[in-house]
Structure 1
């Protein structure tokens, strides 16, 4: 008897429906075809044990399973449940007349219980597009898949529950209210700027970075608060839209990183890879390409602590994704593209010894040591970082007596007001949403300077020996500062503040 069951394969962040044809006929043998990998081939052992432990059996006949399209590589253990239901139906052990109306995925344990799968959200999206009545999958992934409206999602704990479902036993689909999740979680953060004592100038800098989507590097000695400030940046970024939340959830779903039972990722991600990370782990890749840290940080923040300690080759692979806001992983037979639109926040010590080169410093370094240390960061990468800010330690008086500062929610309101101005400003430009994305055309149109501001910028570039690459960055940052103050034109005060945020461009910064 021939039976068709439907599963799915995830390629990048998109899913492709797989038709699993199961034929049970006279003879002996178990034949699996359709370009399966080892994990798929090993399913026969898991299925045999699961059936036996639930009072069913693998029929002693010739079983042929074909996975179509046959030229597409299938990987992973998520087809176990698909195969098992096809074998039980084709061998006449159960009756499942509605089997072809549902997409079925799940990994079987030897006792028949179901283990979670990867990519439940993109699979559910594709199932809805193709008109399936419902999606049957492990209970652990049910909330994630139920985000998709218009598709009945059934979370099952074991093989027996799935068999009972097709036998007619009533089961209610999982319901997820995405708007309620947004309402409850979009403004709740683990870290808040009110906990940061002192560092008012640095908090102002982080507000500017959030308002304009600018990449930022924090330079300061150990214990100055660089990591503490970076961790609080997501709390002042604008809330994600539903579209952004779905994009982010899809990437984390494919990577198998969703552990929250709510399913939807409603807060902007914050990723902080260790400096020993490989270039493949950072940008993505592998024999079967998976998203890397820069894609997991999509619509959020990527924090690189102690930037010069990262391997130079690792940092260089970020240059193209920072510019294009997506990363393409190429293999001989295919290409996979993952989105990677993130804010880069980096931190570093001002010298190999960890302290600024100034009289009375605890540790000093020679000019050669400084040059070698800073040389680990290439000019082209530094060129993509708009704001450089020096972070100095907080004195004892402020640590012990300072009252709480502004909360993240207050700062976030100002950031959202500035982003709203930018949203309307760039409405006519595709792919440009905030000031950090401006090109030369937008700079010329929206960053016109008054005579006084132009003279101030000219003097600063001459006296501070600022590099040519600093010119565009200063204009972009000053445009954001003007937006925060709701000013139509860039004024000299905005230019003056923006100039302060180009520390590494100043000649003589090495000491």
Structure 2
């Protein structure tokens, strides 16, 4: 008897329907074809034990299973439940006339219980697009899949529940998530708050500008100046995610299996990889490419602490994704594209010893040593960072103050107003939502300068020997400063402030 059961495979952040065709005939043998990987080939052992422990068995006949499309490689253990139900139905151990109406996925334990799978959300979206009646999957993934409207999602604990549903007509409890209501009700500020930061008013101003325009920023200062503390609080002043951004972000995290027992992500991601990270882990890769840290930080913040400690080769692979806001990973048979629209926040010490060229510092470094240390970061990468700012230690008088600083909520309100201005400005543009995303053509259109401002930026270009990319970055930052003041035209004050935020371009900044 031939039966078809349906599952899904994830490629990038999109899913494809996999048809599992099971044929039970006279003879003996177990043949699994359709480019399965080792995890799927081993599934017959898990299925045999799970069925036996629940009163069923793999029949002693010739079983042929094809996973179509047969030229597409399948991987992972999430097809266990799909294969098991196909075998039971094809061998007439259970009767089900409606099994082809459902997408079925799940990894089996030997006792028949189900383990969570990766990529439940993209698979659920595909199931809804293709008109499946429902999606049966492990209980831990149910809320994740239930954010998809017009699809019945059933979370189950073990294979016996699924068998009883199809064979005996017992009901399964549908998981229902009111996506919009839950998403907007649970929007909240992250745990870290700028009110905890004493002093550093100029740095807070830079962080506000960076958040308002989505600009990349690098903080340069000695140990203990507060660089990491400030960076961790940046997500608290970013505008709340929109429903569309939350769905995009959740899909990526679903692919790597970090979403469990929850619906949509409602906080912007903050990724903080260690400096020993490889290039494949940072941008994504592997024989079957998985998202890297830059994609996991999509719509959020990627924080690279102690930037010069990262391998130069690893940092250089970020250059193209930072410009295109997506990363394309090519293999011989297919190409995968992951979104990677993130804010880069980097921090670094100004020298190997950790301090500026200061004779009173605990550890001194010569200007040559400082320059050699800074040269670990390439000019093209620094060009892609809009704001460079020096962070100096907070004096004792500020640290001992009882008064709290301005809260993240107050700063976030101003950032939100500036983002609203940008949203209206870029309404007709499809992939531009804030100033940092503008290309050269859009910069020329939206960043018009008066004669005095042009002369000011011309002098800066000549004196600092700035590149064309740095020129564009200054204009973008100036546009954001003007938006924070809610003014239409960019003035010389906005340009001069934006030029100040190019510390690493200034000759003699080392002191």
Same fold (TM over 0.5): yes
Contact 1:107/1:117, CA 8 A, preserved across alignment? yes
Q: Match for residue 325 of structure 2?
A: 325
Contact 1:283/1:327, CA 8 A, preserved across alignment? yes
Contact 2:357/2:367, CA 8 A, preserved across alignment? no
Q: Match for residue 249 of structure 2?
A: 248
Q: Match for residue 26 of structure 1?
A: 26
Q: Match for residue 492 of structure 1?
A: 492
- Tell me, what secondary structure is at the counterpart of 2:400? helix
Q: Equivalent residues in 2 for 1:450-465 (5 A)?
A: 450-461=450-461
Contact 2:30/2:62, CA 8 A, preserved across alignment? yes
Contact 2:161/2:172, CA 8 A, preserved across alignment? no
* Post-superposition offset of 1:188: 3.1
* Post-superposition offset of 1:23: 1.1
Q: Match for residue 211 of structure 1?
A: 212
How far apart in 2 are the matches of 1:461 and 1:90? Answer: 74
Q: Match for residue 175 of structure 1?
A: 176
- Tell me, what secondary structure is at the counterpart of 2:74? coil
Structure 1, 22-31 or 301-310: larger mean CA deviation: 22-31
Are 1:417 and 2:388 counterparts? no
Q: Match for residue 15 of structure 2?
A: 15
Q: Match for residue 351 of structure 2?
A: 351
- Tell me, what secondary structure is at the counterpart of 1:483? helix
* Post-superposition offset of 1:442: 2.3
How far apart in 2 are the matches of 1:102 and 1:263? Answer: 21
Q: Could you give the per-residue CA deviations for residues 300-324 of structure 1, whole angstroms, max 9, x where no partner exists?
A: 1111000000000100000000000
Q: Match for residue 200 of structure 1?
A: 201
How far apart in 2 are the matches of 1:96 and 1:48? Answer: 20
Q: For the aligned residues, what is the CA RMSD? A: 1.4
Q: Equivalent residues in 2 for 1:218-297 (5 A)?
A: 218-259=219-260, 261-297=261-297
Structure 2 vs 1, CA of residues 188 and 164 (structure 1 numbering), >3 Å: closer, same or farther? farther
* Post-superposition offset of 1:352: 0.9
* Post-superposition offset of 1:469: 4.5
Listed as ranges, the gaps of 5+ residues in structure 1 are none
- Tell me, what secondary structure is at the counterpart of 1:21? strand
Q: Could you give the per-residue CA deviations for residues 354-384 of structure 1, whole angstroms, max 9, x where no partner exists?
A: 0111242222212332222111100111110
- Tell me, what secondary structure is at the counterpart of 2:10? strand
Structure 2 vs 1, CA of residues 352 and 84 (structure 1 numbering), >3 Å: closer, same or farther? same
Q: Match for residue 128 of structure 2?
A: 128
* Post-superposition offset of 1:426: 2.0
* Post-superposition offset of 1:206: 0.4
* Post-superposition offset of 1:137: 0.2
Q: Match for residue 407 of structure 2?
A: 407
Structure 2 vs 1, CA of residues 312 and 450 (structure 1 numbering), >3 Å: closer, same or farther? same
* Post-superposition offset of 1:467: 5.6
Contact 1:46/1:108, CA 8 A, preserved across alignment? yes
Structure 1, 241-250 or 119-128: larger mean CA deviation: 241-250
Q: Match for residue 389 of structure 1?
A: 389
How far apart in 1 are the matches of 2:126 and 2:342? Answer: 26
Structure 1, 22-31 or 308-317: larger mean CA deviation: 22-31
* Post-superposition offset of 1:437: 2.0
Q: Could you give the per-residue CA deviations for residues 274-295 of structure 1, whole angstroms, max 9, x where no partner exists?
A: 0000000000010111000000
Contact 1:322/1:341, CA 8 A, preserved across alignment? yes
How far apart in 2 are the matches of 1:102 and 1:236? Answer: 43
Contact 2:299/2:341, CA 8 A, preserved across alignment? yes
Structure 1, 33-42 or 370-379: larger mean CA deviation: 370-379
Q: Could you give the per-residue CA deviations for residues 389-441 of structure 1, whole angstroms, max 9, x where no partner exists?
A: 11111111111114111221111111111111111222233322211122332
Q: Match for residue 78 of structure 1?
A: 78
Contact 1:181/1:266, CA 8 A, preserved across alignment? no
Q: Match for residue 162 of structure 1?
A: 162
Question: Normalising by the residue count of structure 1, what TM-score does the alignment of the two structures yield?
Answer: 0.97
